[in-house]
Structure 1
Amino acid sequence: MDLTALLTSQVLGYALVFARLGSVMVFMPGIGEQMIPVRHRLAMGVVLSLALYPATPVGALNLPTPLDLFPLLVVETAIGIWIGLTARILLSALQLAGYQVGLVSGLSNAFAPNIGSFEGSTLLATSLMLTGVTLIFVTDLHHAILQALLMSYDVFPPGGIMPGDMAQQIVRAASHSFYIGTMISAPFFVMGLVLNVGFGLANRMMPTLPVFFVAAPLLIVAGLFVLVVAAPAMLRAWLEDFSTWLGILAF
């Protein structure tokens, strides 16, 4: 094999690795955030693919024609998008928890002109998601992401794709994300039930009591207090669940 053929085969193999890892960079939490410029994510994908290429089982590609690379690139891109999209669905569990906490705590009350309908819940959901993304780097979970990218070649060999199983896993990811988001926000449902039952009994005993003006501030204060107490356990539960998925890439 001459030098030109050797370099061409290496470049084709690198292109196949970049198709998968570069696609992951689009959605993967912590790396594929919208606040990161596209060119920076692209540069990250190029450097990451170059660094992990020797550790992947792809190797040099000797194809009869360059057109034979196209179906392989489509398959690898689909696998990368699937990995990143599944991770993004798991991250949305924190967003769901934030919306539920805001609804129970009265932060999204439509009668509060300074907050606005659902605006408080949106702010809380965004804060929880950003905290989760920050903890990925604080706890060195991004190393597990890199290990999962290499392990993906054991689950999905180069050029191999399982559309039915991947679609089923996406559905399970959405279901699991909803379950995790509801589970970590369960303390706020208990708080809301206890406080609202108490306010209802107080209104029955004192019909002239302006329950809304009394209950709204107490709900918000109680919700923020429970959030401060429960937030470490909430985020820890999500991180453990996310790291478990990174270890097997399946539900």
Structure 2
Amino acid sequence: MELEEVILGQLGGFILAFARMGAVMVFLPGFGERQVPVRYRLFMALAISLALYPATGIGEIVFGGPLDFAPIVALEITIGLWIGVSARIVMSALQFAGYQIGYVSGLSNALAPQTGQFEGATMIAGVLMMAATALIFATDLHHVMIRALLQSYEIFPVGRIVPGDLAEQIVAAASASFYVGLALSAPFYVMGLVLNVGLGLANRMMPTLPVFFVAAPVLIASGLFVLLAAAPTMLNWHLQEMADWLETFTF
């Protein structure tokens, strides 16, 4: 075998590794955030591909021509995008919970234009997402993500793909994300129900009571208090769900 063929074979394997990991980095939580410049994500994907390539077991690739190599690259990109999108769907559970907390707590009220109809919920969701992103690196969850990328070659060997299973798992990811988001915001639903029932009874006993002006600060203060008390547990459970999914890529 000529030296040129060896070099091209090794380069082909690295291209396949970069195709999967580069696609993952587009959406992977922590690494693929919008605040991270694209060139940094590209450099990270190159560095991780170079570091993990010897352990992926891809080996040398024999070039039979561009038409033979391109479909394999496309399959690797598809698998990478699936992993990144699924992880982003799991991460979106916290964003959904943040929006629900904002709505229940009265931070998004059409009758209060000074706070904006959606700005309050967006703010809560943004704070929770920022905290979760910071905790990904503070708790070394990014190490679990990198290890999961390496293990993905055991679950999804190079050149093999089962579209039906991938589609089924995407649906399962959306379902699990919706369930986790509802579970995280459940304490705020209870709080909102209790407060609104209490304020409704107070309005029945005192019809002249300006309920809106009394309810708004009470709901906001109560929502922020419950958020302060529940946020550590919410973030811990959400990140644990993410770590559990990364172990097997199934729900």
Bin for the TM-score computed over the shorter chain: over 0.9
Equivalent position SS for 1:185: helix
Match of 1:233 in 2: 233
Percent identical across equivalent pairs? 59
Say yes or no: does 1:144 pair with 2:148: no
Whole-angstrom distance in 2 between the partners of 1:17 and 1:45: 9
1:56 deviates by 0.2
2-side partners of 1:209 and 1:66: how far apart? 76
Q: Offset of 1:67 from its aligned partner?
A: 2.6
For 1:246 and 1:70, the matched residues in 2 are separated by 28
User: d(CA) in 2 for partners of 1:79 and 1:57?
Assistant: 17
Per-residue CA distance 1:118-145 (angstroms, 9 max, x = gap): 1100111111111111110000000000
The aligned residue for residue 186 of structure 2 is 186
The 1-side partners of 2:63 and 2:158 are apart by 14
Give structure 2 stretches of 5+ with no counterpart.
Answer: none
Corresponding residue for residue 26 of structure 2: 26
User: Alpha-carbon deviations, 1:139-187, whole Å to 9, x = none?
Assistant: 0000000110011111100010010000010001001000000001111
How many residues in Structure 1 have an aligned counterpart in Structure 2? 251
Amino acid in structure 2 at the alignment position of 1:173? A
What's the CA shift string for 1:33-83, capped at 9, x where partnerless? 111111111111111100100010111111322331100000000000000
- Which residue of structure 1 aligns with residue 92 of structure 2? 92
Q: TM-score, normalised by structure 2?
A: 0.99
2:218 is aligned to: 218
**What is the aligned-residue RMSD (CA, Å)?**
0.7
Q: Which whole-Å CA distance do the structure 2 matches of 1:171 and 1:65 have between them?
A: 36
| 2:49 equivalent in structure 1 | 49
Q: Which moved more, 1:4-13 or 1:107-116?
A: 107-116
In the alignment, residue 63 of structure 1 is paired with which amino acid? F
Letter in 2 for 1:72: I
* Residues 153-168 of structure 1: pairs in structure 2 closer than 5 A: 153-168=153-168
Amino acid at match of 1:162: V
What's the TM-score, normalizing by structure 1?
0.99
Unaligned runs of 5+ in 1: none
**Partners in 1 of 2:59 and 2:66 — Cα distance?**
16
Offset from partner CA, 1:192-224 (integer Å, 9 cap, x none): 010000000000000000000000000000000
Q: How does 1:10-159 map to 2 (within 5 A)?
A: 10-159=10-159
Stretch moving more, 126-135 or 74-83: 126-135
